[in-house]
Amino acid sequence: MHNIYLKLNKHIQTALDSAFPEEAAHAKKEGNLLNPQLAKATKPEFGDFQINGVFSLAKTLRKPPRQIAEIIVKQLVKSDDFNSFCLPPEIAGPGFINLTIQNNYLTKELISLLTDEHLGVPFATENSDDKSESVIVDFSSPNIAKEMHVGHLRSTIIGDSLARILSFRGHNVLRLNHVGDWGTQFGMLITHLKRVAPQALEKANVVDLGDLVEFYRQAKKKFDEDEYFQTCSREEVVKLQKGNNESLQAWKLLCAQSRKEFQNIYDRLDIDLCERGESFYNPFLSDVVEDLQKSGLLVQDAGAQCVFLDGFKGKDGNPLPIIVKKRDGGFNYATTDLAAIRYRLKSKPNGDGASRVIYVTDSGQASHFAGVFQIANLAKWVPQGCLLEHVPFGLVQGEDGKKLKTRSGKTIRLKDLLDEAIERAKADLERRLLEEGRVESQEFIAKVSTTIGIAAVKYADLSQNRITNYQFSFNKMLSLQGNTAPYLLYALVRIAGINRKGGNFDLKLTYPQFTEPQEWALVREILKFDDVILEVEKELLPNRLCTYLFELSQIFNRFYDQLPILKSNEPSLSCRLMLCRLTGDILRKGLHLLGISTLERM
């Protein structure tokens, strides 16, 4: 209903301008408008929209709210155009104005969705008010030679969905995998492997990621205990950073090995990513330090080059430096992120020319990003109108509220987690088939359980407000009841069933006539898809889309359970099939934007 919202807003502004010309002109001069605070209605009985701003207008205009509401309404209904799509407004309580859109107007909007691939969602383009932007989504970003953990899984799922939604809106999206492929871990790892498995540094496929992670653990232990090992590791890092051929060769092999494992997970999750790891920014690190020096931001502190920022204090209350060059000449995670910001915001061909950069990581990195964003701003690397945003998320916990672990207390491997989701989905499905006396092929069972298992994991993550911690529960996420992937997938299966039984909607339908409240509730919900997408684009909260799809499914199920569809007579039959078709289109598109594949039968 975004268009309707804009249209209404215009009418209300015009009404205010005509009713209060002096005050409106004054407000405009100050650079603001008399704000009616038009919003979606909070309850169906309030209609479709409500004007909430009468009370603050009353203060500005020095009149009682009720009187202002009456003046606005009187002005609104003077317009023929307004009366052609909106019912006479109702004043509620001390001065709320409720607005209900006329049925025939809603029907018209609904019909236009039938031929709109974008289902009513505006598409941003190069030359329009709704301008398409270059957006980078930095997500997933695991570290080489370390296991990809559930935090990376959250980042991967949330980042992918945001990238899909932004592309769907017409933005140019670059999906970057900022893998940790540089730094001290390689010094340790190479030193250790040289001693225990030198062949792994010379030939591909000698070790897999599981081994690498174990080697890394051993190396880290040695590093912490053994001084000589430490010196060797540091030398290895220096050799690598200087571009020593042998070291580079070993580094490449290790990266390739990890990459293969990561790719396995991405393939299973259907995630598209462009790998551009930390090593990419290596050539720009010294420029970053130089730039900061020039802008007078750099301070020497105990031999290190640092930046001190307002509001960055340690536990003792003393200012906390952000180190960009260590005493030994090495660079930090922060330096790499500064180089990345500089590169991403610089115009092409020396940069990405992005105007919005979104970082999806756990909230533990919030102060890191606040720091580097502040430095980038102070160094004037952020052109006007460009936006750097950290999209934080909470921890994944077990059902006991503690960190998610295996029964034996080890960290869970993603591969095992996905396997288990699929296994359990399969067991559920087989139980259901037995109960319903259905016989299905192994192929069907495999496909359905894989789709449901992966969908459940993704949806459970996305449907939570990402800021909070979330409790991982296979039972909840796989349930056919409640706000879960199986529940949504099932609504689509119902619609596919109707189509199979010959209920294919005929586009030639002449003007639909909806009569039942269950139909109207569905019409209204279908028309809210565009609002939700625009909201997610702004607030970067995919759970809003999940809630919407869940509500749409509930309203659809009520309609399906309470009204005959295939057994109804014309014109109801066509009208109802039209609602099935549009509900299906939106559910499918919405799930696709969450990265979830759908099924015809389950």
Binding interface with ligand ARG (CB under 6 A): 138, 141-143, 178, 180, 337, 340, 359, 361
Q: Kindly report the three-state secondary structure assignment for every residue of 100-135.
A: CECHHHHHHHHHHHHCCCCCCCCCCECCCCCECCEE
492 within 8 A of 584, measured Cβ to Cβ: yes
| Closest listed residue to residue 79, CA positions, set 6, 171, 12 | 12
The angle, 0 to 180 degrees and rounded to 10, between the axes of the packed helices 517-526 and 103-114 is 60
- Which residue type sits at 522? L
Chain centre distance of CA 310 = 30
In the bound state with ligand ARG, the residue whose beta carbon lies nearer, of 152 and 544, is 152
In the bound state with ligand ARG, the residue whose beta carbon lies nearer, of 258 and 361, is 361
**Shortest Å, Cβ 11 to ligand ARG:** 45
Chain centre distance of CA 270 = 15
388 within 8 A of 138, measured Cβ to Cβ: no
Rounded distance between C-alpha atoms, residue 351 and residue 89, angstroms: 53
In the bound state with ligand ARG, the residue whose beta carbon lies nearer, of 143 and 282, is 143
| Closest listed residue to residue 149, CA positions, set 271, 262, 275 | 262
In the bound state with ligand ARG, the residue whose beta carbon lies nearer, of 177 and 257, is 177
10 Å CB burial of residue 516 (0-12, 13-18, 19+) is middle
**Shortest Å, Cβ 242 to ligand ARG:** 24
In the bound state with ligand ARG, the residue whose beta carbon lies nearer, of 180 and 187, is 180
**Shortest Å, Cβ 152 to ligand ARG:** 6
In the bound state with ligand ARG, the residue whose beta carbon lies nearer, of 146 and 447, is 146
- How far is the CA of 397 from the CAs of 252, 365, 406, 412, 547, in angstroms? 34, 18, 12, 11, 22
In the bound state with ligand ARG, the residue whose beta carbon lies nearer, of 138 and 275, is 138
**Shortest Å, Cβ 397 to ligand ARG:** 18
The per-residue b/e assignment along 274-301, b for 16 or more CB within 10 angstroms, e otherwise, is: ebbbbbbbbebbeebbebbeeeebbeee
In the bound state with ligand ARG, the residue whose beta carbon lies nearer, of 81 and 272, is 272
Residue number, nearest CB to ligand ARG: 141
**Shortest Å, Cβ 461 to ligand ARG:** 17
Residues 6+ apart with CB under 8 A from 419: none
Residues 6+ apart with CB under 8 A from 4: 48, 49, 85, 101, 105, 109, 527
In the bound state with ligand ARG, the residue whose beta carbon lies nearer, of 404 and 477, is 404
**Shortest Å, Cβ 147 to ligand ARG:** 11
**Shortest Å, Cβ 341 to ligand ARG:** 9
Tokens for 549, please give them: 């799809």
**Shortest Å, Cβ 136 to ligand ARG:** 10
**Shortest Å, Cβ 386 to ligand ARG:** 16
**Shortest Å, Cβ 391 to ligand ARG:** 11
Tokens for 546, please give them: 């999940």
Rounded distance between C-alpha atoms, residue 258 and residue 280, angstroms: 17
**Shortest Å, Cβ 100 to ligand ARG:** 47
In the bound state with ligand ARG, the residue whose beta carbon lies nearer, of 340 and 454, is 340
219 within 8 A of 189, measured Cβ to Cβ: yes
In the bound state with ligand ARG, the residue whose beta carbon lies nearer, of 391 and 429, is 391
**Shortest Å, Cβ 145 to ligand ARG:** 12
**Shortest Å, Cβ 529 to ligand ARG:** 31
Chain centre distance of CA 510 = 39
In the bound state with ligand ARG, the residue whose beta carbon lies nearer, of 178 and 424, is 178
In the bound state with ligand ARG, the residue whose beta carbon lies nearer, of 139 and 470, is 139
Chain centre distance of CA 164 = 8
On the CB side of 201, how many CA atoms lie within 13 Å of its CA? Answer: 20
Tokens for 289, please give them: 């330090």
Rounded distance between C-alpha atoms, residue 471 and residue 221, angstroms: 32
